[in-house]
Amino acid sequence: NAGVMQNPRHLVRRRGQEARLRCSPMKGHSHVYWYRQLPEEGLKFMVYLQKENIIDESGMPKERFSAEFPKEGPSILRIQQVVRGDSAAYFCASSQRDRGIGETQYFGPGTRLLVL
Protein backbone atom coordinates (compact mmCIF):
# COMPACT_ATOMS: atom_id res chain seq x y z
CA ASN A 1 0.00 0.00 0.00
CA ALA A 2 1.76 3.11 -1.23
CA GLY A 3 1.84 6.04 1.12
CA VAL A 4 0.66 9.57 0.47
CA MET A 5 2.32 10.88 -2.66
CA GLN A 6 3.08 14.49 -3.44
CA ASN A 7 4.57 16.08 -6.51
CA PRO A 8 6.62 17.85 -7.33
CA ARG A 9 8.94 17.47 -4.36
CA HIS A 10 10.61 20.78 -5.15
CA LEU A 11 9.15 23.70 -7.05
CA VAL A 12 10.78 26.99 -7.97
CA ARG A 13 8.65 29.88 -9.15
CA ARG A 14 9.25 33.55 -9.85
CA ARG A 15 7.06 36.17 -8.21
CA GLY A 16 3.72 36.45 -10.00
CA GLN A 17 3.69 32.92 -11.40
CA GLU A 18 1.29 30.17 -10.42
CA ALA A 19 2.23 27.16 -8.29
CA ARG A 20 0.28 23.94 -8.54
CA LEU A 21 0.89 21.24 -5.91
CA ARG A 22 -0.51 17.73 -6.21
CA CYS A 23 -1.39 15.13 -3.58
CA SER A 24 -2.52 11.55 -4.05
CA PRO A 25 -3.91 10.09 -0.82
CA MET A 26 -3.26 6.60 0.41
CA LYS A 27 -5.35 3.91 -1.24
CA GLY A 28 -8.76 3.75 0.37
CA HIS A 29 -8.50 7.21 1.95
CA SER A 30 -11.11 9.76 0.95
CA HIS A 31 -10.08 12.66 3.22
CA VAL A 32 -7.24 15.02 2.44
CA TYR A 33 -5.64 17.78 4.52
CA TRP A 34 -3.13 20.43 3.49
CA TYR A 35 -0.66 22.00 5.94
CA ARG A 36 2.03 24.63 5.45
CA GLN A 37 5.35 24.79 7.27
CA LEU A 38 7.07 28.14 7.12
CA PRO A 39 10.80 28.32 7.95
CA GLU A 40 11.39 27.87 11.69
CA GLU A 41 7.65 27.43 12.28
CA GLY A 42 5.39 24.50 13.06
CA LEU A 43 2.92 23.08 10.60
CA LYS A 44 -0.24 25.15 10.16
CA PHE A 45 -3.52 23.71 8.94
CA MET A 46 -4.79 25.14 5.67
CA VAL A 47 -7.72 23.10 4.35
CA TYR A 48 -9.61 19.82 4.75
CA LEU A 49 -11.31 18.22 1.75
CA GLN A 50 -13.34 15.20 0.89
CA LYS A 51 -14.04 14.10 -2.66
CA GLU A 52 -15.57 17.08 -4.48
CA ASN A 53 -16.14 18.98 -1.21
CA ILE A 54 -14.24 21.52 0.85
CA ILE A 55 -15.08 20.78 4.48
CA ASP A 56 -12.92 23.29 6.35
CA GLU A 57 -10.83 26.02 4.75
CA SER A 58 -10.38 28.12 7.86
CA GLY A 59 -6.60 28.10 7.55
CA MET A 60 -6.44 29.08 3.91
CA PRO A 61 -5.47 32.64 2.99
CA LYS A 62 -8.49 34.39 1.49
CA GLU A 63 -6.75 35.46 -1.67
CA ARG A 64 -4.61 33.64 -4.24
CA PHE A 65 -4.97 30.20 -2.63
CA SER A 66 -7.45 27.52 -3.67
CA ALA A 67 -7.78 23.77 -3.23
CA GLU A 68 -9.77 21.02 -4.83
CA PHE A 69 -10.18 17.25 -4.57
CA PRO A 70 -12.01 16.07 -7.68
CA LYS A 71 -13.88 12.83 -8.04
CA GLU A 72 -11.04 11.47 -10.13
CA GLY A 73 -7.39 12.35 -9.70
CA PRO A 74 -5.25 13.96 -7.05
CA SER A 75 -6.00 16.85 -4.75
CA ILE A 76 -4.57 20.14 -6.03
CA LEU A 77 -3.41 23.13 -4.01
CA ARG A 78 -3.12 26.14 -6.29
CA ILE A 79 -1.33 29.36 -5.42
CA GLN A 80 -1.79 32.20 -7.89
CA GLN A 81 0.58 35.15 -8.28
CA VAL A 82 3.08 33.75 -5.81
CA VAL A 83 5.05 36.06 -3.52
CA ARG A 84 8.27 35.41 -1.62
CA GLY A 85 6.30 34.87 1.59
CA ASP A 86 4.70 31.79 0.03
CA SER A 87 8.06 30.00 0.16
CA ALA A 88 7.46 27.07 2.50
CA ALA A 89 7.02 23.32 2.69
CA TYR A 90 3.49 22.22 1.87
CA PHE A 91 2.41 18.90 3.32
CA CYS A 92 -0.57 16.80 2.41
CA ALA A 93 -2.10 14.19 4.72
CA SER A 94 -4.88 11.68 4.24
CA SER A 95 -7.11 9.59 6.50
CA GLN A 96 -9.95 7.08 6.50
CA ARG A 97 -12.47 9.38 8.08
CA ASP A 98 -15.18 6.76 8.29
CA ARG A 99 -13.31 5.15 11.17
CA GLY A 100 -14.04 8.08 13.40
CA ILE A 101 -12.60 11.43 14.36
CA GLY A 102 -9.65 9.81 16.12
CA GLU A 103 -8.29 8.39 12.88
CA THR A 104 -4.58 8.94 12.18
CA GLN A 105 -3.54 11.32 9.44
CA TYR A 106 -0.75 9.98 7.25
CA PHE A 107 1.58 12.57 5.79
CA GLY A 108 3.27 12.82 2.44
CA PRO A 109 6.90 13.90 1.88
CA GLY A 110 5.90 17.49 1.15
CA THR A 111 6.49 19.95 -1.67
CA ARG A 112 9.10 22.59 -1.02
CA LEU A 113 8.18 25.78 -2.81
CA LEU A 114 10.78 28.46 -3.38
CA VAL A 115 9.68 31.79 -4.78
CA LEU A 116 12.45 33.87 -6.31
Please give the residue ranges that form the binding site for another protein (CB under 8 A).
4, 31, 33, 35, 40-45, 48, 55-56, 58-59, 91, 93, 97, 101-102, 104-110, 112
Strands 31-37 and 10-13: unpaired
Q: What is the largest CA-CA distance in the chain?
A: 42
Residue closer to another protein, measured from CB, 40 or 72: 40
Residue closer to another protein, measured from CB, 38 or 116: 38
Phi first, then psi: give them for residue 17, nearest 5 degrees.
-80, 175
- Report, in Å, the least distance between residue 93 CB and another protein: 8
Residue closer to another protein, measured from CB, 108 or 115: 108
- Report, in Å, the least distance between residue 38 CB and another protein: 10
Q: In this structure, are residues 13 and 111 in contact, taking their beta carbons and an 8 Å threshold? A: no
Residue closer to another protein, measured from CB, 17 or 109: 109
- Report, in Å, the least distance between residue 26 CB and another protein: 12
Going 85 to 38 to 50 to 75, the CA torsion angle's sign is positive
Strands 10-13 and 111-115: parallel
Q: In this structure, are residues 93 and 30 in contact, taking their beta carbons and an 8 Å threshold? A: no
- Report, in Å, the least distance between residue 20 CB and another protein: 19
